[in-house]
Amino acid sequence: MLSETGTGALAPAATAVFTAVLTEGPLSRVSLANRLGLSSAAVTKAARPLIEAGYLQELAATERTGPGAGRPASPLAICPDREYFVGVKITADELIGVVCDLSADVRVAAHRPLADPGVDAVLTELGRLIDDLLDGPGDYRARTRRLGLAVSGDVDRGTGLVRYSPFLRWHDVPLRERAARITGLAVTVENDVKALTTAEHWFGEGVGAESFALITVGTGIGCGLVVNGRLVSGSHGVAGEIGHIGVDATGPDCHCGSRGCVEAIAGTDAIVSQARACTGKPGLTIDDAVALARGGDERVAAVFARGGTAIGTGIAAVANLVGPARIVVSGEGLAAYDLFETHIRTGFERQAFGAAVQCPLSIRPLPFEEWARGAAAVSIQSLVAP
């Protein structure tokens, strides 16, 4: 909320203008008026406090306002350096942190190993990481007020409470409150897949799309949904959990308490467990499993095939229920995407109903720094549209 900068609370028109320029700019006032259903005068009035506060700038005139118009338009653009945002992705064994500018471009990144995934140990290391990011080269601290945290599991963004994170083994952790005390920053906490979806919606593949789905493949199988231009969280904050759609009633037990879930078949731990069982090698790793499958081991290749079919079936359920305009498949598990791809597409095509099968699947491998960028994007969103 920009009132913290001294500009006062933004009117709805100013919020709309700011959001449009941030996600789709630079844009002329005429373009903004047409997009937002406002008059040019209303756009000018809405933009004025943002320009005065240094969040927006007028670029050199590049286009005319209409046929025969004598005065070229001066597009409005974001001032990226006006404010910086820290984003941190928390995993069970590592913190990945970034500092982003207002356009969500990463300026600096750092990784910190975690010897202990307990809450106290993570918060201590989080404080150290943020100090290193903000006080290192770039001198970002003076213009940084906000921190976004991305955590796997059931997260209440409104309160900053991590209800349950299976990979961290956290229950009912008031993460926003505790992180704010340690860092002195305004903190937002979001499920990691939803944070990544926010980044893609505002600054990536989903810009301009009224509906799309982001599927993540890795330790967990996640899904973020945007419908009618808004991220869907659901009444209980767990909308989009395709990893826990049951696809095989006789399948393996899942950590959620059910069985035959997509994640219990296709998550990284599940792939490793099945590969160890079929090879009789208890020390086998995911890298070993990938190498064996690529080397022609039919038993391990069948494990990836089963996982790919489960993922494709889950994606089809999303397409059938929501009907997104596009589906983006991402996540660290895509390092082995060549072993999944045919089976994902086959499972999807078999289960998708009618025209839903025409929904394009876009493959977008993303490193963990992009998940941290997603956390920063949620923090940017909280500034623009709290």
Report yes or no: 351 and 312 within 8 Å, Cβ to Cβ.
yes
Measured distance CA(305)–CA(309) in Å, rounded: 6
Selection from 203, 206, 117, 207 nearest residue 153 by Cα: 117
For residue 291, report the phi and psi dihedrals to the nearest 5 degrees: -65, -40
Measured distance CA(207)–CA(198) in Å, rounded: 10
pLDDT value at position 165?
92
Output the tens digit of pLDDT for each of the chain's 386 residues. 454 444 456 788 999 999 999 999 899 999 999 989 999 899 999 999 999 999 999 988 765 444 545 455 789 999 999 999 999 999 999 999 999 999 999 999 999 999 999 999 999 999 999 999 999 888 899 999 999 999 998 899 999 999 999 889 999 999 999 999 999 999 999 999 999 999 999 998 888 888 899 999 888 898 999 998 888 877 766 777 888 988 988 888 888 888 999 999 999 999 999 999 999 999 999 999 999 999 999 999 999 999 999 999 999 999 998 889 889 888 877 778 889 889 999 999 999 999 889 888 887 777 889 999 999 999 999 998 76
Say which DSSP state 280 is in: T
Domain(s) labelled CATH 3.30.420.40 in the chain stretch across 82-198+370-384, 208-363
Q: Which fold has domain 2-78?
A: Arc Repressor Mutant, subunit A (1.10.10)
Measured distance CA(328)–CA(18) in Å, rounded: 26
For residue 296, report the phi and psi dihedrals to the nearest 5 degrees: 105, 5
Contacts of 210 (CB under 8 A, 6+ apart): 226, 227, 228, 229, 325
Report yes or no: 259 and 246 within 8 Å, Cβ to Cβ.
yes
From residue 327, alpha-carbon distances to 13, 195, 229, 383 in Å are: 31, 16, 14, 27
The CATH number of 82-198+370-384, from 3.60.150.10, 3.40.50.150, 3.30.300.30, 3.30.420.40, is 3.30.420.40
Q: What is the CATH number of domain 208-363?
A: 3.30.420.40
Q: Which residue has tokens 């306002």? A: 65
pLDDT value at position 209?
81
pLDDT value at position 63?
53
Selection from 49, 27, 1 nearest residue 207 by Cα: 27
Three-class DSSP labels, 4-42? HHCCCCCCHHHHHHHHHHHHHCCECHHHHHHHHCCCHHH
pLDDT value at position 138?
81
How buried is 158 (Cβ within 10 angstroms: 0-12 exposed, 13-18 middle, 19+ buried)? exposed
Domain(s) labelled CATH 1.10.10.10 in the chain stretch across 2-78
Q: The whole model's pTM is what?
A: 0.86
Helix, strand or coil for residue 177?
A: helix
Measured distance CA(346)–CA(335) in Å, rounded: 19
